[in-house]
């Protein structure tokens, strides 16, 4: 019985130490690397629904409502940018921007739902 008690105590103590240790890729989040992973439009088709993405390129025109056609060197995709996600940023087709958002896969089309816009130049 003493062995079992000692093993349980060691296991609990070991688990407590493991939980106190910070790991950047844990469920709590944190800093992982020193650069952002910008992906291209042609890579988006291989991603799962709701995957977080960063794309860089240009909005070339408004499609309708809050949907815009976004272009990078690999292709185009429709992005959805709600009014409150613009955060005062104004862009033209000549402006290079980074868009941060999630992949939105539907039955017949894939779009990106944008959370944040960063004007590069």
CB 97 within 8 A of CB 59: yes
* CA-CA-CA-CA dihedral for 36, 38, 43, 48, to nearest 10: 40
Which residues, at least 6 apart from 84, have a Cβ–Cβ distance to it below 8 Å? none
What was the pLDDT predicted at 86? 93
Rounded to whole angstroms, the Cα distance separating 53 from 37 reads 8
Between 72 and 37, the more confident residue is 72
Length of the chain: 121
Segment 69-93, tens digit of pLDDT? 999 999 999 999 999 999 999 999 9
Element of type H or E holding 101: strand 97-105
**pLDDT tier, 121 (very low <50, low <70, confident <90, very high otherwise):** confident
Rounded to whole angstroms, the Cα distance separating 104 from 48 reads 9
CATH of domain 41-119: 2.40.50.200
């Amino acid at each position: 019985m003493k062995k079992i008690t000692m093993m349980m105590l060691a296991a609990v103590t070991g688990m407590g130490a493991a939980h106190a240790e910070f790991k950047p890729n844990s469920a709590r989040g944190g800093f992982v690397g020193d650069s952002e992973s910008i992906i291209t439009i042609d890579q988006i088709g291989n991603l799962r629904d709701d995957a977080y993405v960063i794309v860089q390129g240009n909005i070339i025109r408004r499609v309708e409502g809050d949907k815009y056609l976004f272009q990078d060197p690999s292709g185009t995709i429709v992005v959805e940018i709600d009014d409150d996600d613009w955060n005062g940023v104004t862009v033209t087709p000549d402006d290079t921007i980074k868009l941060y958002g999630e992949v939105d896969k539907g039955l017949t089309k894939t779009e990106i739902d944008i959370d944040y816009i960063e004007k590069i130049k």
